[in-house]
Amino acid sequence: MTPEETAAQRVTTVLAERDAVQANLLELDGSFAKQVLEGAALTGQTRDRWAAASASLATLWETFLAYSAVVDRIAALGTGGKRPARKDLPELDALLAGGCVQLPGAPVPLARRDLAAAGRPPVTLAAAVGVMRRAFSEVTEVTSAVEAVWAAVAVPFDAATGDLARVRPLVDGLGADIGAEFRDAENALAAQRAAANADPLALWRPAAGGTAARAAGRVDTSAADRLREQVAALTPRIAELDRLRRQARRRIDDLAAATAAARASRQDALTAWREVAVRISALPPVPPDISEPPLGTLATLAGGGQWSQLAVELDRCEAGLATAAAATADVRKTAAAAIDKRDELRGLLRAYKAKAARLGAAEDPDLAARYDQAYDLLWTAPCDLAAAEAAVAAYQRAILEGEGRR
């Protein structure tokens, strides 16, 4: 390649690099985080770090303008299809490789300045790009961390906001306690959102290490997540209390009807238990009677709009009724099972007696005595099921042992 061709190639490379730098700076300048940070009332870490970053960004733009002016001059000397003239090669070489970009900032202190040097010596294009690259990293480290924080906390914040908005029309009239909880949740959400907007970097946890590692940090969303959980637990309660408010009378009436049905069912089960108790001994005791619910108290709570207390009382009454109903079912089941067990043992005894006859051992005195003992237990009222079962088992073993000897 001729010197002119080599110079033209270097010019093309420099122009491409300048275009890339300019594109990245414009993207940074128009980024959401940068736009918001510039107009926000910041506090804490974010205020301090953004003050330093915005100063670096201003210096970065000044550096870019000086650098870009040099690149423009290089472009004028020859680019693309236009090769630089031979007479321009010395100037072009000086611009491409020598100190040609005057960096902004205070001049070098006199005590450290060479006698023949200017206040702040110019730097090469490569050095200027290096300075801009470091400043760019400093600024984007802040903006990227801020964007990461806002994106992470927006998820629980927006979910909590939506939940609270859905139940806000229901809160009035549900009681002072639930109203206070709702206001506390709203205030906590507003406070956390304001804090995240004013000082997002307070929630940023950078990774240990250099700049690249710090950029890979994480967001501490623990407070936002706890608030989200609090709201997620509160809003269904509000919806349930509103449903109770609309259905209170019907639910109280349903409780009264269910109690009457449960008491009638218990009476039937008790009758069955007494009938079985005459035939079977040692039945489990019957559970206590089912008490009437405090319908007057429940109506008073509903009339006074004390929905939280009404919900507690209704839940308690309904749970007690469900327990009583289960106990009633157990009484009926236990009585029926006792009769079934007695009948099963009677059938087994008959079957074993028939087997003894087939074996020719029906007249065996020991077997006959064992049979009589089991028979008396099973056909005597009330029947001792445990003793009868043991007697039938003993009669079976005796038959099997005799069969083995034969």
DSSP string, 342-397: HHHHHHHHHHHHHHHHHTT-TT-HHHHHHHHHHHHHHTSSSB-HHHHHHHHHHHHH
Q: What is the pLDDT of residue 100?
A: 84
Q: Which of 216-220, 231-235, 262-266, 357-361 has the lowest mean pLDDT?
A: 357-361
**Distance, CA of 227 to CA of 95 (rounded, Å):** 59
**Contact by Cβ (8 Å): 60, 135:** yes
Query: How far, in Å, are 15, 63, 64 from residue 74 at the CA level?
Result: 9, 17, 15
> What single-letter amino acid sits at 23?
A
- DSSP class of residue 108 equals P
pTM of this structure: 0.65
Peptide bond preceding 3 in cis form (omega within 30 of 0): no
Q: What tokens were used for 283? A: 């039945």
**Distance, CA of 94 to CA of 136 (rounded, Å):** 27
Q: What tokens were used for 378? A: 């099973």
At residue 278, the 3 state secondary structure works out as: coil
**Distance, CA of 154 to CA of 328 (rounded, Å):** 53
Q: Comparing C-alpha atoms, which of 142, 166, 151 is closest to residue 224?
A: 151
- Average pLDDT in the 76-99 region? 73
Confidence of residue 131 (pLDDT cuts 50, 70, 90): very high
Confidence of residue 305 (pLDDT cuts 50, 70, 90): confident
Residues pairing with 280 in the sheet: 383
Domain ranges of the chain: 3-147, 246-335, 339-405
Highest mean pLDDT among 104-108, 253-257, 306-310: 253-257
For 107, the enclosing helix (H) or strand (E) is none
Q: What tokens were used for 119? A: 């206040």
CA atoms within a 13 Å half-sphere pointing along the CA-CB vector of 362 = 9
Q: What is the pLDDT of residue 317?
A: 94
pLDDT at 110 over 70: no
**Distance, CA of 119 to CA of 144 (rounded, Å):** 36
pLDDT at 213 over 60: no
